[in-house]
Amino acid sequence: NEGSLWGARFSGGPSPELARLSRSTHFDWQLASYDLAGSRAHAKALAAAGYLDADELPRMLDALAALGAAVESGEIIAEESDEDVHGALERHLIAIAGPELGGKLRAGRSRNDQIATLIRLYLLDHGRAISHLLVQLVDAIAAQADAHPAAVMPGRTHLQHAQPVLLAHHLLAHAWPLVRDLERLRDWSVRASASPYGSGALAGSSLRLDPALVASELGLAGPSENSIDATASRDVVAEFAFILSMVGVNLSRFAEEIILWNTREFDFVTLDDGYSTGSSIMPQKKNPDIAELARGKAGRLIGNLSGLLATLKGLPLAYNRDLQEDKEPVFDSVVTLEVLLPAFTGMVATLRFNTERMAELAPQGFSLATDVAEWLVKQRVPFREAHEISGALVAFCERHGMELHEPSDEEYAAIDARLTGGVRAVLSVEGAISSRDGVGGTAPVRVAEQLAQLTERIRAL
């Protein structure tokens, strides 16, 4: 059982079946650079506590640097016999530095506190990368809103025409959830910046190594408060997986609208050729595959989160090997978004809006009926009656195939004496939109204001 981290009390090596089940190098090898960063920090803590002397520390750091370069170049890889990235790297370190020096590094640490730290380092790095990609998407949405300050569209509830809104207002409604996701990542990173290194297997170390030194070497805020919690908990991983799922769900809702808008029936958008696909049999097809993949991958992101939570739910404290199952789902969520976001951003940035078609549909479906009711309220009609009068007007127009502004003054009066020709003044899409000028409303001044706020919030991240 040579080369194993734990062979001495065993009579032989693990059975091949166990070794195959146990092995994690095919996915945890991507933590190699973080493992080496942990080792460098740990070596410094060992030296500070007197366990490596003045010439041993530089030799250790040189060996770790050589190991890092060999991992980087692909010269060193994990072997069949390596259980995990920690063991594989230690084996190579001993080969480079010799058993005497190489064998000193493991003092005062356990794979349990190592892995709990490394996953945080990995997630913090990828959290930054994903934040960067999200900012680019928010910028692309904001640029589309900025490019269409006056375009109008039918606003919908229940997918039915409800009230007309500005296209820019609707687009920004897809940007704000992503801004909150960015803020979630920022808030999460505070919790993720605790360093489990020094917690040992679960109970801490007796060697008086300085965990604050290790934390600061790793760019983390400080040591974890409780060594049992630090090695046993993965809520930081689950929270990250949640945020990535939330991003996926937010993209999916936008994607669903783009898919609808791209249909012949809606005809609101044209997708750029570079961001849509054709059919192998139907030459006329131009398919919104990026949006559909976004919608599909949201399911995958949710699955990764659910799987991880299910893994955690019954675990007693402290470390259990089940915790090794935290990595693949969250690695998958990271890769999924790192590939999806740039494509999604490209699709959004190159969308062309058929603003004429949107403007034509904006007043249809009696979407100005609320404006009739609110006009009556301004004439001091109680809202309950105003709602009934405008409802009666809608019914009348529906029967006669008219729009709300089309009945004659006599026909208005027959519905209710308080309904006069004066109401036609508010029966325009532009009038309806600019009258909704409360905070967060669809009036152009308000939308311009929220676009500025959005930019501000992104800058403050």
List residues binding ligand ARG (CB under 6 A). Answer: 24, 28, 84, 111-112, 115, 319, 321, 323-324
- 328 by Cβ neighbours in 10 Å (0-12 / 13-18 / 19+) ranks as middle
Q: Could you tell me how many helices (H) and strands (E) the chain has, helices first?
A: 19, 6
- Write out the DSSP string of 277-299: B--SS-TT--B-HHHHHHHHHHH
- Least CB distance to ligand ARG at residue 218 (A): 18
**Sign of the C-alpha dihedral computed for residues 314, 316, 317 and 319 taken in this order:** negative
Q: Is 333 a catalytic residue?
A: no
Residue 216 tokens read as 């600061």
| Selected catalytic residue, list 26, 158, 280, 408 | 158
Give whichever of 153 and 323 is closer to ligand ARG, judged by the CB atom.
323
Which of the following is catalytic: 15, 22, 279, 306? 279
Q: Between residues 117 and 262, which has the closer beta carbon with respect to ligand ARG?
A: 117
Nearer to ligand ARG, 150 or 317 (CB): 317
Query: Which CB sits closer to ligand ARG, 35 or 374?
Result: 35
- For ligand ARG, the closer of residues 71 and 167 by Cβ is 71
Q: How far is the CB of 88 from ligand ARG (least distance, A)?
A: 11
Nearer to ligand ARG, 20 or 285 (CB): 20
Closest CA to 41 of 66, 59, 56, 61: 61
To ligand ARG, the closest distance from the beta carbon of 220 in angstroms equals: 19
CA atoms within 13 A on the CB side of 438: 0
- Report, in Å, the least distance between residue 66 CB and ligand ARG: 24
Q: Are 169 and 442 in contact (CB under 8 A)?
A: yes
Task: Based on the residue annotation, tell me whether 158 is a catalytic residue of this protein.
Answer: yes
Residues 6+ apart with CB under 8 A from 133: 337, 338, 341, 342, 345
What residue has token string 């097809």? 285
| Smallest distance from ligand ARG to CB 315, Å | 12
For residues 31 and 451, which CB has a smaller minimum distance to ligand ARG in the complex? 31
Query: How far, in Å, CA of 144 to CA of 152, rounded?
Result: 13
Task: Output the CA–CA distances (angstroms, integers) from residue 89 to 41, 108, 114, 219, 310, in the order listed.
Answer: 15, 17, 13, 22, 31
Least distance to ligand ARG, CB of residue 112, Å:
5
Neighbours of 401 (CB within 10 A): 7
The residue to which tokens 């898919």 are assigned: 259
CB of 106 to ligand ARG, least distance (A): 13
Closest CA to 104 of 164, 27, 49, 172: 49
8-state DSSP, 160 = E
Please report the DSSP string for 420-444 in residue order: -GGGGGG-SHHHHHHH--STT-SSH
Minimal CA–CA distance to 66: which of 40, 29, 31, 44?
40
Active-site amino acid positions: 158, 279
